[in-house]
């Protein structure tokens, strides 16, 4: 039995012993009235409920981030109350039967008490479910919060998984419950009350006229209540029916009380519309004066479940941008590290192999939205390293059960930024053991590897000599994990060079150019452990490698004679000229976030286009510059005319139009949640679809952690619409939408040089493949 469980039982037994002692004292003494027994019992039950709740809270702390804090109040407290009521009712019925010998009276009492318990339980559940959880279960909210957390961490998320209700769908109804719920509960209460009275009457002999008068009065009460329920229900329906009949079709004139200006389809919508009008009037009054504290509290409680947990960010918007996207591991850095490995250690590790491992084995991104490295604290490793540091983890566990435990378990994981709470708590006990017990970065490398697999990465003399890619000590290791994913990648390379499996280093199973010699199964065994088969890591690695091998054209193209198309590069909308955004204000194409930072789509399009042109010039690939160097917003008609003129003189040309998406027409605010890349062509199957499919392939290849929005209904992954620039150009044409500039995370990416370069390189890869592999 765990120590915490033992303490719980000690508390409960102590309360019971004290309660029994008080009951004995009251029963043998004349100093206390008899009803004191009830106070003692109720107080004891309350204390037991309190200690059990405290125990449960400690057990599940941090595990249900989507659960509402009022869950235990509504369900724990109500469950205890209904249980006590049921037990007391059954005991009272038993006493009635034993003392009076009347089975019918006892049965009638049981029916009444059980219905009251069921009524309370259902009523509290329904109030919680609709007024606090807005019609969703706690599990539904957990899934939504989990999806939001994944989105923050950079994982692709289905938009439907992020959707959450903003209000109670039945807020216009009584108690905020579905129509008919309250009427139904009252009707059932009347029914069970009358049934209880009927059962009691079977076992009662009425010998006087007064007794008969009392029972008649009671039956009349339930009869009247039942008739009133019918009258209220059908009377309300009749009034609404007549109200609709009184409204003359085709005119604005309506019966008194009807809501004009909108056609309603059912009673609930009509009630809701009236309620919305009341809310609007109330909001106007609220704007005129500062709301009282109680109103503020009500609003905060009603919206608390909807708000995703926000990370506290220090610094400006641009600082966040730099924190995230300047740290991303780029293809150039991967190639740089592989070239160094090839030159200095004669180890041939190919780019597709590395991309496959990153796709399968990495954690998506190495940093959280606030720029801190992504971590996962392992309490069983902390136990091990505390012992190594000469400390007693057994003695420390009682005070820190969620960070110190002997065997692995996932129940204490908090995930995301909250893992730092566990790390900081562990750091207070032993800093080195805490860092060693934490997995870090893109590949979630345990800090303890500094003692063996990453030991050569600890080199104080090289750091002193200016080589900052090594670590002085474990503190320097922690600090540099936050600088860049390149450190994570260097750690990974060192790990697979040192870690062995079946007598060979892991890197030996995947090195060389001959992919038929790659032993993915043994590599997965050495990297993931004996459970790799259950998770099919070897199968996933092989499939990912085949994908990246097919899409990688970085080596052979220089030996191929160009046979394909040359791009006409168009940067959508206008750019920045003398500090002025030249795009037509009517079209918007910009967004200003609540923190004051603005993003201008046309400016971003040109920056991406210019980086793309630089890459093409360096590679010696020809191109036509349509609007990249033009800061003014060239009208669509002029763009199309110029593109058609180029195509008339160069039949091997195609149009590439660079854009960024938006989810609404708003120009300011907190931003939307829509995200992802898109490739568009005109409606129908043309040469444009072939080129667009290549672009889609490269977006998926170069941005595995991002969403790609596609439409496969016609067999390819581009979207189709007759945009003017696509429909009216004579040449093949496709348009790309690079993320959503009104999404805060996407805007951070697009504003960063790193993000612009990644998009430009993706388009460069597309153009390169089209140029070398597509015939005119």
Averaged pLDDT for residues 718-736: 93
Bridge partners, 735 (sequence order): 657, 680
Task: Give the integer Cα–Cα distance in Å for 774 and 760.
Answer: 20
User: Which among 441, 442, 372, 379 has a CA at the least distance from the CA of 406?
Assistant: 379
Residue 544 has pLDDT above 70, yes or no: yes
Distances (CA, A) of 416 to 174, 242, 731: 40, 58, 48
Task: Give the integer Cα–Cα distance in Å for 6 and 644.
Answer: 82
End-to-end CA separation in angstroms for the chain = 76
Residue 505 has pLDDT above 80, yes or no: yes
Residue 319 has pLDDT above 50, yes or no: no
Per the CB < 8 A criterion, the answer to whether 572 and 659 are in contact is: yes
In this predicted structure, which of 216-225, 493-502, 655-664, 665-674 has the lowest mean pLDDT? 216-225
Strands (DSSP E) found in 277-350: none
Averaged pLDDT for residues 594-613: 93
Number of other residues whose CB lies within 10 A of the CB of residue 336: 12
* Distance from chain centroid for Cα 370: 16
Task: Give the integer Cα–Cα distance in Å for 736 and 571.
Answer: 10
Averaged pLDDT for residues 558-576: 78
Tell me what pLDDT residue 283 has.
44
Tell me what pLDDT residue 605 has.
96
Q: Name the more confident of 18 and 437.
A: 437
Which of 262-266, 428-432, 465-469 is most confident?
428-432
Q: Name the more confident of 290 and 708.
A: 708
Assigned token pair, 58: 């400690």
Task: Give the integer Cα–Cα distance in Å for 323 and 585.
Answer: 32
Per the CB < 8 A criterion, the answer to whether 150 and 157 are in contact is: yes
Calculate the average pLDDT of the chain: 77
Helices assigned H by DSSP within 203-292: 209-246, 267-288
Residue 13 has pLDDT above 80, yes or no: yes
Find all residues with CB under 8 Å of 650, minimum gap 6, and list them. Answer: 566, 624
Tell me what pLDDT residue 215 has.
65
Confidence band of 403 (pLDDT split at 50, 70, 90): very high
Tell me what pLDDT residue 180 has.
74
Question: Angle 544-549-553 (CA atoms, 0-180°, nearest 5)?
Answer: 140
Residue 298 has pLDDT above 50, yes or no: no
Task: Give the integer Cα–Cα distance in Å for 290 and 286.
Answer: 7
Q: Name the more confident of 79 and 395.
A: 395
Q: Coil, strand, or helix at residue 316?
A: coil
Confidence band of 400 (pLDDT split at 50, 70, 90): very high
Residue 689 has pLDDT above 70, yes or no: yes
Residue 449 has pLDDT above 90, yes or no: yes
Tell me what pLDDT residue 300 has.
41
Percentage of the chain with pLDDT > 70? Answer: 72
In this predicted structure, which of 210-214, 412-416, 615-619, 713-717 has the lowest mean pLDDT? 210-214
Question: Tokens 């260097």 identify what position?
Answer: 490
Assigned token pair, 213: 């008068």
Per the CB < 8 A criterion, the answer to whether 421 and 411 are in contact is: no
User: Which among 172, 355, 354 has a CA at the least distance from the CA of 271?
Assistant: 172
Task: Give the integer Cα–Cα distance in Å for 749 and 369.
Answer: 11
User: Which among 311, 245, 405, 175 has a CA at the least distance from the CA of 745?
Assistant: 311
Distances (CA, A) of 286 to 172, 282, 300: 19, 6, 15
Q: For residue 600, what is the enclosing H or E element? A: strand 598-600
Residue 322 has pLDDT above 70, yes or no: no
In this predicted structure, which of 303-307, 575-579, 708-712 has the lowest mean pLDDT? 303-307
Residues across the chain: 776
Task: Give the integer Cα–Cα distance in Å for 161 and 146.
Answer: 9
Distances (CA, A) of 12 to 22, 250, 682: 15, 72, 73
Q: Name the more confident of 559 and 525.
A: 525
Tell me what pLDDT residue 590 has.
93
Assigned token pair, 238: 């009749």
Distances (CA, A) of 568 to 479, 560, 641, 643: 46, 22, 12, 7
User: For 340-351, how does the pLDDT look when each residue is reduced to its tens digit (9 = 90+)?
Assistant: 888 888 888 888
Task: Give the integer Cα–Cα distance in Å for 669 and 148.
Answer: 19
Task: Give the integer Cα–Cα distance in Å for 345 and 330.
Answer: 22
In this predicted structure, which of 229-238, 394-403, 525-534 has the lowest mean pLDDT? 229-238
Per the CB < 8 A criterion, the answer to whether 260 and 252 are in contact is: yes
Assigned token pair, 632: 């003014």
Helices assigned H by DSSP within 683-729: 687-702, 724-727
Averaged pLDDT for residues 32-46: 64
Q: Which CATH superfamily is domain 559-773 in?
A: Zn-dependent exopeptidases (3.40.630.40)
Task: Give the integer Cα–Cα distance in Å for 90 and 112.
Answer: 10
Tell me what pLDDT residue 256 has.
39
Averaged pLDDT for residues 565-584: 91
User: For 697-707, how does the pLDDT look when each residue is reduced to its tens digit (9 = 90+)?
Assistant: 999 888 877 88
In this predicted structure, which of 72-86, 241-255, 391-405 has the lowest mean pLDDT? 241-255
Per the CB < 8 A criterion, the answer to whether 593 and 536 are in contact is: no
Residue 190 has pLDDT above 60, yes or no: yes
Task: Give the integer Cα–Cα distance in Å for 537 and 330.
Answer: 24
Tell me what pLDDT residue 38 has.
61
User: Which among 600, 609, 608, 607 has a CA at the least distance from the CA of 569?
Assistant: 609
User: For 100-148, how does the pLDDT look when each residue is reduced to its tens digit (9 = 90+)?
Assistant: 777 777 787 778 778 777 877 787 778 777 777 778 887 887 788 777 7
Task: Give the integer Cα–Cα distance in Å for 114 and 109.
Answer: 9
Q: What share of the chain is helix, strand, coil (3-state, %, to 5)?
A: 60, 10, 35
* Distance from chain centroid for Cα 416: 11
Strands (DSSP E) found in 62-137: none
Tell me what pLDDT residue 203 has.
66
Per the CB < 8 A criterion, the answer to whether 383 and 404 are in contact is: yes
């Amino acid at each position: 039995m765990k120590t915490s469980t033992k303490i719980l039982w000690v508390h409960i037994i102590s309360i019971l012993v004290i309660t029994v002692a008080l009951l004995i004292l009251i029963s043998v003494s004349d100093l206390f009235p008899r009803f004191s027994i009830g106070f003692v019992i109720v107080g004891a039950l309350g204390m037991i409920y309190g200690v059990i709740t405290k125990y449960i809270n400690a057990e599940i702390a941090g595990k249900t981030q989507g659960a509402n804090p009022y869950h235990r109040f509504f369900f724990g407290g109500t469950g205890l109350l209904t249980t006590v009521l049921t037990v007391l009712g059954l005991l009272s019925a038993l006493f009635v039967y034993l003392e009076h010998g009347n089975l019918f009276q006892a049965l009638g009492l049981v029916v009444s008490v059980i219905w009251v318990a069921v009524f309370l339980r259902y009523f509290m559940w329904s109030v919680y479910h609709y007024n606090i959880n807005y019609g969703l279960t706690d599990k539904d909210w957990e899934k939504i919060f989990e999806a939001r957390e994944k989105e923050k961490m950079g994982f692709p998320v289905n938009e439907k998984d992020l959707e959450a209700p903003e209000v109670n769908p039945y807020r216009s109804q009584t108690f905020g419950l579905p129509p008919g719920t309250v009427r139904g509960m009252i009707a059932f209460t009347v029914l069970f009350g009358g049934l209880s009275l009927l059962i009691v009457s079977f076992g009662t002999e009425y010998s006087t006229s007064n007794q008969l008068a009392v029972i008649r009065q009671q039956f009349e009460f339930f009869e009247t209540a039942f008739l009133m329920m019918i009258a209220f229900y059908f009377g309300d329906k009749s009034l609404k029916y007549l109200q609709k009949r009184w409204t003359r079709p085709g005119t604005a004139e309506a019966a008194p009380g009807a809501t004009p200006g909108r056609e309603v389809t059912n009673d609930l919508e009509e009630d809701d519309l009236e309620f919305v009008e009341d809310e609007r009037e109330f909001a106007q009054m609220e704007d005129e004066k500062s709301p009282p504290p109680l109103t503020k509290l009500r609003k905060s409680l009603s919206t608390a479940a909807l708000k995703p947990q926000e990370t506290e960010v220090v610094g400006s918007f641009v600082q966040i941008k730099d924190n995230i996207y300047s740290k991303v591991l780029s293809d150039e850095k991967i190639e740089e590290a592989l070239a160094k490995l090839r030159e200095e250690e004669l180890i041939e590790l190919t780019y597709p192999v590395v991309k496959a491992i990153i796709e399968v084995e990495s954690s998506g991104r190495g940093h959280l939205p606030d720029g801190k490295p992504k971590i996962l604290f392992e309490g069983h490793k902390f136990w091990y390293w505390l012992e190594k540091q000469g400390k007693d983890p057994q003695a420390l566990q009682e005070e820190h059960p969620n960070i110190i435990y002997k065997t692995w378990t996932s129940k204490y994981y908090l995930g995301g930024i909250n893992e730092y709470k566990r790390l900081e708590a562990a750091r207070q006990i032993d800093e080195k053991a805490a860092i060693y017990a934490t997995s870090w970065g893109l590949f979630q490398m345990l800090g303890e590897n500094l003692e063996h697999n990453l030991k050569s990465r600890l080199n104080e003399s090289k750091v002193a000599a200016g080589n900052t890619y090594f670590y002085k000590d474990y503190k320097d290791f922690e600090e540099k994990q936050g600088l860049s994913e390149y450190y994570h990648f260097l750690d990974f390379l060192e790990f697979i060079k040192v870690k062995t499996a079946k007598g060979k280093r892991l890197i030996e199973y995947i090195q060389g150019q001959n992919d038929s010699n790659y032993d993915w199964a043994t590599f997965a065994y050495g990297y993931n452990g004996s459970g790799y088969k259950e998770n099919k890591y070897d199968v996933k690695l092989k499939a990912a490698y085949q994908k990246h091998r097919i899409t990688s054209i970085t080596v052979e193209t220089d030996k191929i004679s160009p046979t394909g198309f040359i791009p006409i590069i168009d940067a959508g909308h206008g750019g920045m000229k003398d500090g002025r955004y030249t795009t037509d204000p009517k079209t918007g194409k910009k967004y200003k976030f609540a923190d004051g930072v603005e993003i201008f789509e046309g400016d971003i399009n040109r920056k991406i286009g210019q980086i793309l042109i630089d890459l093409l010039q360096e590679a010696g690939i020809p191109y036509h510059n349509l609007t990249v160097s033009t800061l003014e917003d060239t009208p669509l008609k002029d763009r199309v005319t110029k593109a058609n003129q180029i195509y008339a003189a160069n039949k091997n040309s195609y149009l590439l139009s660079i854009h960024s998406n938006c989810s609404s027409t708003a120009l300011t605010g907190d931003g939307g949640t829509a995200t992802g890349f898109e490739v568009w062509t005109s409606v129908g199957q043309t040469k444009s679809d072939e080129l667009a499919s290549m672009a889609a392939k490269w977006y998926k290849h170069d941005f595995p952690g991002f969403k790609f929005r596609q439409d496969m209904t016609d067999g390819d992954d581009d979207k189709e619409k007759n945009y003017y620039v696509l429909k009216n150009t004579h040449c093949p044409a496709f348009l790309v939408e690079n993320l959503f500039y009104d999404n805060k995370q996407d805007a951070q990416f697009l504003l960063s040089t790193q993000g612009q370069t990644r998009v430009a390189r993706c388009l460069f890869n597309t153009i390169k493949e089209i140029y070398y592999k597509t015939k005119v």
